[in-house]
Amino acid sequence: MHFSWVSCALGAVGLLLSFSGCGDDCSKELHTSVKYSGLRAGRFYSRTVVDGRVSSGGSGFVSPDGGIGMTGGSSEGCYPDDAQGGHVEGWLDLDGDDTQRCACASPGFFCSAFEPSCEPEPGDPQGKQTFALKHGLTTADLMISDQ
């Protein structure tokens, strides 16, 4: 498989979503990863939702290389003390019809994974992992497979 990305919720996106950024003085830090393993091709989407708001997301094209491969994304962010938790989710768009409602302004960078209409369909390989934010480091790892 080809594709991977890493993002850290900083800058304008961080201000927009009330993050304090990634750093040493973070009381609630979240690291997420979403991985897909399988033989199918399509656009892979993932996003992290904290307290009902999308905090990071991205997409990339998955192309099998004649065997089971793995692709995915990861993110990290720092959240205020009152942040409770959320979920990380991902899916592989097999039929390509998510392209319009999940279009990227810039390929692989935050896309429209922020839009409520950008969501997986019942037949797409998909998954969701919930988490509660605790003081210190919280990790949420999600593996999606069509095998």
User: Quick one: pLDDT at residue 23?
Assistant: 52
Neighbour-count burial of 10, counting CB atoms closer than 10 A to its CB (0-12 exposed, 13-18 middle, 19+ buried): middle
Q: How far apart are CA 35 and CA 80, in angstroms?
A: 27
User: Quick one: pLDDT at residue 24?
Assistant: 62
Residues of the chain where predicted confidence (pLDDT) is lower than 50:
1-21, 66-67, 105-109
Continuous segment of H or E residues that includes residue 143 = strand 136-145
Residue type, 21: G
User: Quick one: pLDDT at residue 9?
Assistant: 29
Alpha carbon of 37 to those of 16, 95, 106: distances in Å?
Answer: 33, 18, 25
User: Quick one: pLDDT at residue 85?
Assistant: 95
User: Quick one: pLDDT at residue 112?
Assistant: 53
pTM equals 0.72
